[in-house]
Amino acid sequence: MRKKDNNGGEALSEEEKSNICDLRCVANRNLIDLQKENPDLLIFPQSLGQHRDGIEKPTIFSLDDEKITTYNIMGFIGRNSAQLTIFSRFAKDDNNDYFLHYLLQKVFSINILDFDQSPNKENIWDFLLYLFPYYLKKAYSQGLYKAYRKEKHNDANVKGTIDVKRHIKKNIPFLGNVAYTTREHSCNNYLTQLVRHTIEHIKSHRFGASVLANDSEVRDIVSKFNFVTQNTYNRNSRNKIILNNLKPITHPYYTEYRMLQKICLRILRRDKITFGKEEDRIYGLLFDGAWLWEEYLNTLLKHSFIHPENKTGKNRQYLFENSTSPSFQHIYPDFISKIKPIKVGDAKYIPLGSQKEYTENSERATSIYYKTITYMYRFNSTEGFLLFPNPETSHFEEYKIIGTAGLLKKIGLAIPQSVKTFEDFNKLMNKNENEFKNLLK
């Protein structure tokens, strides 16, 4: 099945009702529980539930006997014979999800203009290629991974354990060499070899060269991994290398390599992950659209706005002061202007193009309106923004808060709907982004 995100509830066809039985165990469940129980399910961002940011609360979709309702989650999930792809509601059609590819390229700093999707091919696993350079750089920030490995030698400089069986086999009659083994701390190990195999696999992809070559830092890191594995890399040993990496690394220092290892395995085992024979296994690759949208907006607004990060604590703000603590109750507005008068903005990956009224105590009213107005009050601001994607045209609405000088503005970034190529989509998005930034001024 293929569905758009935020579909508002869509009736199931008779065929869909019979095919979705395997996915009922996925419906109506939050992301963090699914991720804990299913190691073959990759969900981004990876820090679900660690920062009390609410990202882990949404469900992928809800389901009853008659309809399926999707939310902000995009990507691919499967179990047994059932497979569900949730694509962006801004896609021209369900085979050309330019908007999701554009967000991923911006957030993970990749620029591929020659991308085009094949109408008859499932491309959801290609998104992993966008993630590879990002996590490669994060892992390499801790240096090249080193591990102990057993090395076999046969020479006169004995410095390890003599291998009697191999010595008899290789060195009779005796000519001066001795067969022995050593345990060495080396950069050439099962994990760096996995990264090398992944690099070679990506090179063979239709836009793999762009993924690995458009960033000088990535090019340098790739050359380092090529150098340390040059004497042992063998295309035919790929399956063996994959088997050696099925157990996640637990090294207390090389923590960033855990995610890189997982992504490399997903890239190299793509067909086995998607169409494996293990019954009832849930697999997939999912992106939280709200997180992607917020991170994308930060790439546009970072020169004029502060972007507090609840994942790192950077630019943390506080709501109260009291006698026992200089600061109390930390908060993370999405965007705070760097210059005065201060403006605060909230990223919303939901359709806000039409005016809607919600009951006073509804969760929707709290998340859309009340939270931003609270931030306005906290920063003594008279301007608040709700920033959202809008199909085809820009959007601007202004609401005056009664009895105050406060203005709450809805600003929609126009997302092209009728372009024929990804390159045309990029050009139009660049134009629309400039218009969007002008509306913020």
Residue 82, SS3 per DSSP: strand
Task: Clarify whether residues 361 and 262 are in a common domain.
Answer: no
Query: Does residue 372 form part of some domain?
Result: yes
Is 342 domain-assigned?
yes
Q: What is the pLDDT of residues 6-57, one digit of tens each?
A: 888 888 888 888 878 888 888 888 888 887 888 778 888 865 434 344 454 6
Q: Where a domain ends, among 263, 290, 317?
A: 290
Domain boundary, last residue among 186, 217, 240: 186
Of 186, 211, 245, which residue sits at a domain end? 186
Task: Say how far apart CA 159 and CA 152 lie, in whole Å.
Answer: 11
Alpha helices, H only, 183-325 = 190-203, 208-213, 216-228, 238-244, 257-268, 270-275, 289-301
Domain tally for the chain? 3
Same domain? 92 vs 163 = no
Using one digit for the tens of pLDDT, what is the confidence trace for 133-187?
Answer: 989 999 999 999 998 777 787 888 888 788 888 888 888 888 788 888 877 778 8
pTM above 0.85, yes or no: no
Structural domain range at position 58 = 2-143+188-290
Same domain, yes or no, for 130 and 180?
no
pLDDT at 119: 44
CA distance linking residue 407 with residue 398, whole number of Å: 7
Mean pLDDT of 200-221: 85
Asked if 165 and 198 sit in the same domain, the reply is: no
Domain assignment of residue 33, yes or no: yes
Report how far residue 357's alpha carbon sits from residue 334's, in angstroms, rounded to the nearest whole number: 23
Q: Is residue 297 part of a domain?
A: no
Residue 295 is assigned to a structural domain of this protein: no
Strand order in the sheet with 61-63: 10-11, 67-70, 61-63
User: Are both 100 and 202 inside the same structural domain?
Assistant: yes
81 phi and psi, to 5 degrees?
-90, -5
For residues 247 and 372, state if they share a domain.
no
| pLDDT of 222 over the 90 cut | yes
Please report whether residue 435 resides in a domain. Answer: yes
Q: Are residues 136 and 240 in the same domain?
A: yes
- For residue 107, give the H/E element and its range: helix 98-107
Is the domain of 23 the same as that of 137?
yes
In which band, very low, low, confident or very high, does the pLDDT at 114 lie, cut at 50, 70 and 90?
A: low
Q: How far apart are CA 13 and CA 251, in angstroms?
A: 49
